[in-house]
Structure 1
Amino acid sequence: MTEFPRRLLAGFALGAILVAGTPAFAAFPSAPDGPAPTVAPVLRQVTPGVVNIAVQGRVRVNNPLLADPFFRQFFNLPNGPVERRTQASGSGVIVDAEKGYVLTNNHVVENADVIDVTLRDRRTIRARLVGRDPQTDIAVLQIKADNLVAVPMGDSDKSEVGDFVLAIGNPFGLGQTVTSGIISALGRSGLGIEGFEDFIQTDAAINPGNSGGALVDLKGRLIGINTAILAPAGGNVGVGFAVPINMAKSIMEQLLRYGSVEHGRIGVSGQDMTAEIARGLGTGRIDGGVVTAIEPGSPADQAGVKTGDVIVAVDHEPVRNWMSVVNRIALARVDQDVTLTVDRRGSVQDLHVTVAPAATRPRQARGSEDYQ
């Protein structure tokens, strides 16, 4: 049976819970007379910066019967759309204690009328939605309170497979909970969860309600915002996904500065590099993305990008695959100049491209690859 990725729902029904721990630190034996290995000192610093989020909102009821005038009259329903009240919960991370900024997931707050944030010290504060970006599933809240504690941001580009991590959140509404594991993979994409995917995959237990919580390294640095799970049975099976903090930080900066995120494009389509393509192009590279088509008159066309070019870096930051290229360009602000480092049959050169609005992107036929 094919397994489909499922987004962590912010709301849930509380039922029987099976808890499975990951012995991430069993590999570190303690001395016979010494202290047992522990991450408690790290958690004492980090957990005050991870919050629980409760939302109340409205969603439209989509029922074909409601479009029948006789049905509406019989049940004395008012004209217009029918809505129902919702309640849900999730998690968030304080990233700026002075200004009270909190990172969370868009799907936690997208239908919210009221957002309440509960701190580690049990204070509950009404939050303001600063902005949100459905394409990356990132939202920014703001709270006003004294003595807030922020979780320091790390550099997710420096994360490696095998790094130990801790996931902190509010699973099943139980309250703040910590699980441990390792980074299982980097750059996960093609899951169909978000518009722009470059997930950190981890086996640290993540469950419904963990959405928007923190993924931190053993130095207490925030490297990801927990977002989704692969859950064929509806619960944790050791395959969770987090938005890298570098991506979340970029989205937050745009939301704070402009109030919205305008994803860009340069007018190219492409695919991942393979050993066969590398041999055909006369290069030994297997990382990066190969350009397969260029939109005539697009910024990429004007900058001199050619079919067959292998994009190996964007703004001098190496890219792993084609989705990495797409994500980096999409996170650039419209009218911003970006530098593409391309390998053209063994000759490496930099090309300067001005990002165009994604809103002008032409629709492609079903099954064809869209220009980025």
Structure 2
Amino acid sequence: MVELPVIPCRRLGSQGMMTSAQGLGCMGMTPFRMDAKPEDEMIKLIHHAVDVGVTLFDTSQSYGPYTNEILLGKAIASLPRDKVQIATKFGVIVDSNFTSLSVNGSAEHVRAAAEASLKRLQTEYIDLYYQHRVDASIPIEVTVGEMKRLVEEGKVKYLGLSEASADTIRRAHAVHPITAVQLEWSLWTRDAEEEIVPLCRELGIGIVGYSPLGRGFLSGLGTDLKLNENDYKRDHPRFQQREKNRVFYERLKGIAQRMGVKPGQLALAWVHQRGEDVFPIPGTTSIAHFHDNLGALGLTLSQAQMEEVEAAVPFHQIAGDRYPAAAMRLSWQHATTPPFTTYAART
């Protein structure tokens, strides 16, 4: 029997939401362009996560698309609803072949997407509802105004933004308090630390860190020179330059070995120690890897160790951007870019 650390539960943001300090990202359970994992195994993993104390489960209408919410809905249908907090997202429109994507922040889409998500999730309310990507053609006040009405109707409890700029966050928060901002945060992605993280702390907004393991790279997944032909990582610039970036993983691995832990646990512990307002949501489809990720909660790093790890993975030296160019145009760094961006499939 694997001995797992106690998973603390604490306040996410300043609006009253309580959730586990580490969540579970569900996107990979119904992966883009690849065969879905066995449904019964994924439901078993979700149930196991609940049994050991994880309460926050992250999904989106765009994952699949739609199949991820359906899977999570099936998994939680047999569970007491107050045992889980469901976080889902709207606004990214992906076709069934993942050949193109666009964004939609209109009030009409906000409502239609929420109603559809509620049905797929088999629930009467969504705990945390994010705008997945900002639609620069729609004032954020319009989008959040409709999200606010969903809260008033009891269909949504708390509001969030994902990949939003500091200006957008501040304007949104003036319409209705934002509970959480979801952003990519890991040893090799630290762009948000200069402006967005301080703003969230000023406004009392919780930070949900996605891809805290660098899409698995910091735990050793994808560091080799071969990837499955259908693996979406083949499109990512950092994985296309993984031969250059592997040196950073090797340095992290060396430190982890001296500490008697796994590289991924060390990388994830670093994210946790950025503050008690930070809630990482590492994704996995394996109970063994899930246990590895939970092990980070039992690891406390000294200031010297934090600095050593940061020096081993200097984020400004990482080769490649964090997304392909078209997807980067939907990130917070490009908030004013016209939103209807076509993402061409790799041929």
Larger RCO (alpha carbons 8 Å, 6+ apart): 2
**Which structure is larger by alpha-carbon Rg, 1 or 2?**
1
Q: TM-score, normalising length from structure 2?
A: 0.25
The structure that is helix-richer by fraction is 2
